[in-house]
């Protein structure tokens, strides 16, 4: 009987207030969704265990407050992160424009050993809403890949975070843990199947 390798992966979710960070985390971990908005105070985290190849990965997913008044708490929560998820609301172009600021602030406060190669994931949330403005937001953004059109073809966005694991061979970057969830890309999510 071979022993399974265990890995702890600390993932930080960042983005402006109201972009859906808490909803994404709750849906991924608990398979629960609520339309009611309740602002996160400070930070919260949930854990989820997933198998990636022969590794049991415990994902410690940190949901942070998007309000500026809580950004000073960043150092305490960001240190030791293995991946950072930057979330924007496709119906609110300004939330996309602030992603560079969130990324820069994370790199300053987390002080990763290799900031140039630190893995970031960019999620465009609320793509199911009619007033989405994704196309207008993508202009001039050169630090990530548009996955929707390159891999799945236009109009066929990924349906869940699990889809990311299925595409692991295509997406894994050079990262010490070689885990599929640490990639630099743009994912556009439709509503989760409840």
Whether 159 maps to a domain, the answer reads: no
Q: Average model confidence (pLDDT) for the chain?
A: 63
129 band by pLDDT with thresholds 50, 70 and 90: low
What CATH number is associated with residue 32? 3.40.50.300
Residue range 41-68, pLDDT digits in tens: 556 777 888 777 777 878 888 887 655 5
Query: From the centroid of its chain, how far is CA 88?
Result: 10
Q: How far apart are CA 68 and CA 58, in angstroms?
A: 29
Predicted local confidence at residue 39, as pLDDT: 56
- 130 has a pLDDT exceeding 70: no
Whole-prediction pTM value?
Answer: 0.66
140 band by pLDDT with thresholds 50, 70 and 90: very low
Pairwise pLDDT comparison (192 vs 164), residue with the higher score: 164
Q: How many domains does the chain have?
A: 1
Whether 193 maps to a domain, the answer reads: no
Whether 149 maps to a domain, the answer reads: yes
Residue range 64-86, pLDDT digits in tens: 765 554 455 557 778 888 888 88
The residue-averaged pLDDT of 152-160 equals: 37
* Tokens matching residue 72: 């000073």
Whether 171 maps to a domain, the answer reads: yes
**Residue found by looking up tokens 């403005």 in the block:** 133
145 band by pLDDT with thresholds 50, 70 and 90: very low
* Residue 175 and residue 142 in contact, taking contact as beta carbons nearer than 8 Å: no
Residue range 3-25, pLDDT digits in tens: 667 778 888 888 888 888 887 77
List the domain range (segments joined by +) for residue 56: 8-153+164-185
Pairwise pLDDT comparison (90 vs 144), residue with the higher score: 90
Pairwise pLDDT comparison (170 vs 5), residue with the higher score: 5
Phi, psi of 8 (to 5 degrees): -105, 125
144 band by pLDDT with thresholds 50, 70 and 90: very low
Whether 38 maps to a domain, the answer reads: yes
Whether 114 maps to a domain, the answer reads: yes
* Residue 147 and residue 186 in contact, taking contact as beta carbons nearer than 8 Å: yes
Q: How far apart are CA 71 and CA 42, in angstroms?
A: 8
The residue-averaged pLDDT of 174-187 equals: 34
Whether 192 maps to a domain, the answer reads: no
Whether 130 maps to a domain, the answer reads: yes
- 165 has a pLDDT exceeding 50: no
High-pLDDT (> 70) share of the chain, %: 51
């Amino acid at each position: 009987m071979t022993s399974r390798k265990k890995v702890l992966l600390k993932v930080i979710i960042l983005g402006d207030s109201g972009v859906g960070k808490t909803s994404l985390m709750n849906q991924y971990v608990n398979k629960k969704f609520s339309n009611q908005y309740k602002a996160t105070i400070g930070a919260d985290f949930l854990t989820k265990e997933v198998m990636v190849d022969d590794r049991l990965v415990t994902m410690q997913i940190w949901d942070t407050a998007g309000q500026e008044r809580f950004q000073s708490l960043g150092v305490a929560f960001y240190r030791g992160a293995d991946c950072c998820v930057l979330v924007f609301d496709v119906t609110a172009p300004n939330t996309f424009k602030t992603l560079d600021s969130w990324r820069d602030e994370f790199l300053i406060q987390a002080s990763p050993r290799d900031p140039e190669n630190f893995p970031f994931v960019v999620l465009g949330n609320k793509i199911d809403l009619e007033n989405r403005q994704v196309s207008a937001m993508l202009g001039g953004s050169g630090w990530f890949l548009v996955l929707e059109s390159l891999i799945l073809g236009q109009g066929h966005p990924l349906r869940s975070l699990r889809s990311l694991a299925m595409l692991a061979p295509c997406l894994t970057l050079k990262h010490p843990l070689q885990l599929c969830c640490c990639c630099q890309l743009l994912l556009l999510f439709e509503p989760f199947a409840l």
